[in-house]
Amino acid sequence: MGCTIPSVVRDGVAYTAANIDQAWIGTNGRKLLQRKTRCPVFLLNDADAAGMAEMEFGAGRGQKGVVIVLTFGTGIGSAIFVNGQLVPNTELGHMELRGKDAEWRVSDHARQEKGLSWKKWAGRVNEYLGRIEFLFSPDLIIVGGGVSKKHEKFLPMLNTRAQVVPAQLLNDAGIVGAALAARVLV
């Protein structure tokens, strides 16, 4: 069984808990889920799983160079791939932007909570992507998460050097990625 969690995950243990209960920090989620389900479990970061699916079946398929997958939802998840290889557990949603975690300004949750128009929100996303480009010089940015199903409302307003495309698997990418990750258990 493949499971995802919005946390840095190493060897089945959750190390962060920005958008989940703090009790997860230090919890061996893999062992907990294995005990409850009596199934072998592979636990990984949710954005890493979404990125794996997009690289295997979606917008990142066959892409070389640096590909960054950003999931905009409750927070901002991130996955970075270099020539198809995942750099696990990146937390680019927690990068500082105007003195706060970027996800407090740029997540879809922030857009909804602050009642931002798509144009105003796209301006915030542009600022965030500018920082991402400065730090990583990606060749491709894939936008996923809950907001991906409405990509036509904001993607045309994004100004980046890198190509920006919507996730092809939309908000299902994490589920597909969890299944891909579970293949190692077979």
Burial 11-50 (b: 16+ CB within 10 A, else e): ebbbebbbbeeeebeebebbeebbeeeeeebbbbbbbbbb
3-state secondary structure at position 88: coil
Q: State the Cα–Cα distance between residues 156 and 52, nearest whole angstrom.
A: 25
Domains parsed from the chain with CATH numbers: 62-168 (3.30.420.40)
Report the share of the chain in percent with pLDDT over 70: 100
**What is the overall mean pLDDT for the chain?**
96
Is the distance from CB of 68 to CB of 60 less than 8 angstroms? Answer: no
- pTM for the whole structure: 0.95
CA 52 to chain centre: 10
pLDDT tens digits for 75-125? 999 999 999 999 999 999 999 999 999 999 999 999 999 999 999 999 999
CA distance 127 to 54: 24
In the predicted structure, residue 186 carries a pLDDT above the cut 80: no
